[in-house]
Each structure stands twice: as structure tokens, then as C-alpha cells.
Amino acid sequence: MAQSELTLTEHKPFHTQRKDVWWVQPLVVFLGLGTFILYATFRVFEGAHFLPDHAPYLTPFYSPLLFGIDEHTIAHSWFGAMPDWMPSLITPAVLILWAPLGFRFTCYYYRGAYYKAFWVDPPSCTVSEPRKGYRGEQSFPLIIQNIHRYFLYVAIVIVGVLAYDVWEALWFSDGNGGKTFGIGIGTIVLAINVVLLGGYTFGCHSLRHLVGGIVDLLSKAPIRRNMYNCISCLNRRHMLWAWMSLCWVGFSDLYVRIIATTGWKDYITF
């Protein structure tokens, strides 16, 4: 029997025998997610410029608009004005943004992305960690990732609400107290946002399991099989949908903010 001697080496963080630039992907993810987190945090607590006075565009960061903060937004909110007993740090976005952010934070793709980029757990394949062992998701706090399926249900409802916002973005004030049909750049921006978020949400691994993971033979359930195939088609590009929807939802919010702060009226066709 052939024998060989192995020399034990001391554990060193980020030690690897890889010759490629393995650190590029986690670095890009870190910069991309980090930028979005900083911008989203600013917008969530800004509590303003989310519904322009002269355009029917509601930013997805504040949708559904449960409470308004001024006469204009109160008129479009679900439950009127923000209650006086709520702390000043609680904005309309804080009340609803926890759901889509929780859906992304517990997403199977994003877990692998930010585990590497932020927690370096592990930083990449065959690259040692800056700790002695892999902790996994069997204990707190990572065990809470198992609630992803419940965030999915809320995310599906939010996609429906955002689709309704696109419908609302088709009706502009005619200046006489009425509304007239129109299509602005903001309407198109919000519509694309729904498409991308829908592709990401309906390609979710949990939804795929929910639809096709109950029956033993999908061939005996044709409707369920067709749904499973559609979800699987989206799921094959889940990473692409995740990044495209993340970038576009941030752009959608930025566009609405620009409209609200500058008073610029984008092009409308009737």
C-alpha cells in the first residue's frame, strides 16, 4: 500500500491554493449589496419624497402606503394620517419594507451571496475562513433563515400591490379635479419593476417546492406540473432576477424621488 506523509499547517484566514482571482465575486457582491443597503436605509428613514404632488407615482419603498404624513399622502394612504403615538423614527416605509427585505435576506441565493461577501462564511470555495469552523444554520441567529417560506407569502401580496400601483400610475390629474389616461416614463419604470420583482418572486425555490413538492408524480397532476415547470424556468435564472430586480427597485425609488424633489414632469402620451 502506498504511503505518504502529510504536514499539518496552522490555520490561516483566507488561505487557499487557488490561483484565480476568487475574491472578485464576493467583493462585487459586497459593494453592490452595501450600496443598496446604505441607500435603502437613507430612504426608509427620510420619510419624504415618495409620492409626487403632480404625478401618480408611488415609490415601491413606501408601497403599500399604510399611513400618510401630509395632506397629499394622507389622501392616498390606506388608514389616514400617521398616529401621534408612533415614534418619529417610524416612517411609512418602516411599516412595510421589513417584508420584502426579509424575503431577500432569507432568500437561498442571497444567503450564499452575503455569507461570502459580508460574513466570509466561507469567503469562497476552498478558501479558509477567519474562524476555526463553519457554524452553519443550525443555531441562532442563522436558524431564522427557515422562515423564508412565510416571507414568500407576503412578497406575493406585495407584488400584487405594486401591480395596482402601476394601474394608478396610468391616471394623471387633468387640472380640473378629474383624471385622464396617460403613460409617463415613471409609469414604464414602475411597470418594469413589477415584471422584474415578479420574475424574482415567482422563481423562488420555496414556491417551487410548495407547488411541486407535495405530490409524488407530477405527471398525474397536469396543472401543478405546468406551474412547476414555469417556476423552474424562472428559477434557472434566479440569480439574474435577484440582481436585476434589486437594482431596478432602487432605481425606481430614485426616479420617483427625482420627480418629487425637482417637480419635473416626465413625458406623457395620451
CA 34 and chain centroid, separation? 14
Q: Please say whether the beta carbons of 204 and 229 come within 8 A.
A: no
Q: What is the pLDDT of residue 24?
A: 86
**pLDDT above 90 (res 36):** yes
Residue 26: burial class (beta carbons within 10 Å; 0-12, 13-18, 19+) = buried
Among the listed residues 150, 50, 34, 36, the one whose alpha carbon sits nearest the alpha carbon of residue 93: 50
The pairing of strands 183-184 and 268-269 is antiparallel
Query: 190-208 pLDDT, tens per residue?
Result: 999 999 999 999 999 999 9
Confidence at residue 4, expressed as pLDDT on a 0 to 100 scale: 52
Q: Cell numbers at residue 184, please?
A: 409617463
| Percent over 70 (pLDDT), the chain | 89
Q: In this structure, what DSSP letter does residue 82 have?
A: P
- Non-local CB neighbours of 174 within 8 Å, separated by 6+ positions: 180
Half-sphere exposure of 226 (CA within 13 A, CB side): 2
- Give the helix ranges, DSSP H, for 9-147: 24-46, 71-76, 94-105, 108-117
Q: What is the mean pLDDT of residues 83-88?
A: 89
Report the DSSP pairing between strands 268-269 and 171-173.
unpaired
pLDDT, tens digit, 9 for 90 and up, residues 153-201: 999 999 999 999 999 999 998 878 788 999 999 999 999 999 999 999 9
One-letter identity of residue 20:
D
What dihedral do alpha carbons 154, 160, 165, 168 form, nearest 10°? -140
**pLDDT at position 177:** 79
Residue 7 pLDDT: 47
